Structure 1
Amino acid sequence: MTYANVGTLGAAPGRRDELVAILTRPSADLEGAGCILYEVGVNDEHPDTVFVAELWTSAEAHQASLQLPSVRAAISEAMPLLSGEMGGHGFEVVGSPLRG
């Protein structure tokens, strides 16, 4: 069953664009790990927040991706840019009007 994770990452004041640059780097590793979709967004009404929507082949694939060396390196690089405010939810996808 497909797994989705939709969340927010709080960026330190003025560091949002740096965080976005790290999160949007091309990564063949994610696709190989079972990532179907990884979208990063911003909203100027929330200037220190980054929004992330992920779609994975499974919750296990998502969890396993966190151990990939490239993902761990990106997390390490992003950590100093984070404010510590994070939110979101993971859920099993049960259907879509686009995929039937």
Structure 2
Amino acid sequence: MYGLIGKIKTLPGQRDALISILIAGVSGMPGCLSYVVAQDSTDANAIWITEVWESKESHKASLTLPSVQQAISKGRPLMAGFGERFETIPVGGQGIHV
């Protein structure tokens, strides 16, 4: 499995709009076991995304899907930049079966 945890910084006041775009653009991603969008609890302009995929290749392939490309295009103008990014190797947990 392949995991990814990343922080996106939004332009002031655009966090909720970007969250809506990201959540709407995630349907039908083959190989995606979990995709969670969360508000940062201390930064009103930051979002954390936690993803679990069957493989790194599944994640890479998802970036070519029309729905994902559309979400990226719509969301990019609301982004101020990126923060931390961590790749992980999920080994289990609720909703994840190895």
TM-score by length of 1: 0.85
Q: Residues of 2 paired with 1:88 and 1:35: CA distance?
A: 18
Structure 1's consecutive aligned runs of 4 or more residues displaced over 6 angstroms after TM superposition are none
CA shift for structure 1 position 96: 3.1
Query: In the alignment, is the contact (CA less than 8 A) between 2:3 and 2:89 conserved in 1?
Result: yes
RMSD, aligned α-carbons: 1.8
Paired residue total: 96
Query: Matches of 1:97 and 1:78 in 2, distance apart?
Result: 30
Gaps of at least 5 residues in structure 2 are: none
Give TM-score scaled by structure 2 length: 0.87
Q: Quick one: distance in 2 between partners of 1:44 and 1:3?
A: 25
Partners of 1:11 and 1:45 in 2: CA distance: 14
The unaligned stretches of length 5 or more in structure 1 are none
CA distance in 2, matches of 1:10, 1:81: 9
Match of 2:45 among 41, 45, 48: 48
Identity value in percent? 32
Matches within 5 A, 1:2-41: 2-25=1-24, 27-30=26-29, 33-41=30-38
Moved more, 49-58 or 83-92: 83-92
